[in-house]
Amino acid sequence: MQNCCGDKVIFYDPVFEDLVDDEVKLMWEMLCKRATDLLIEFKNLQADDEYGTCDWRASYTFTKTGRKVINNIRAHMRFKDGKIIDAYRSI
């Protein structure tokens, strides 16, 4: 995911709220490194050169509690030079 994001990127969701630039990349690094059983599934992908949307599901075990987490997400993205520069999720 870090390679998919531009150097200047904005990310918003109800959990992480407003992240910018390296904060976005660090969020993805944290999620991917901590979740040893992370599974991400995508569907309903639509995109052109500037905008994209997709539905995706992330499932993993939350390490602090050992509880299974399943997040169903509708993602909205804006691209520049083939990289995500703006992303937010709606539920």
Residue ranges of domains in the chain, CATH in brackets: 2-90 (3.10.450.50)
| Structure confidence at residue 6 (pLDDT) | 92
What residue spans of 10-67 are helical by DSSP H? 22-34
**45-74, pLDDT tens digit by residue?**
999 999 999 999 999 988 889 899 898 989
Pairing of strands 67-80, 83-90: antiparallel
| Mean pLDDT of the 32-57 span | 92
Q: What percent of the chain has pLDDT over 90?
A: 55
Nearest by Cα to 77 from 60, 58, 55, 62: 55
| Structure confidence at residue 91 (pLDDT) | 62
pTM: 0.80
Neighbours of 41 (CB within 10 A): 10
Contact 75, 42 (CB under 8 A): no
| Structure confidence at residue 80 (pLDDT) | 96
Contact 4, 83 (CB under 8 A): yes
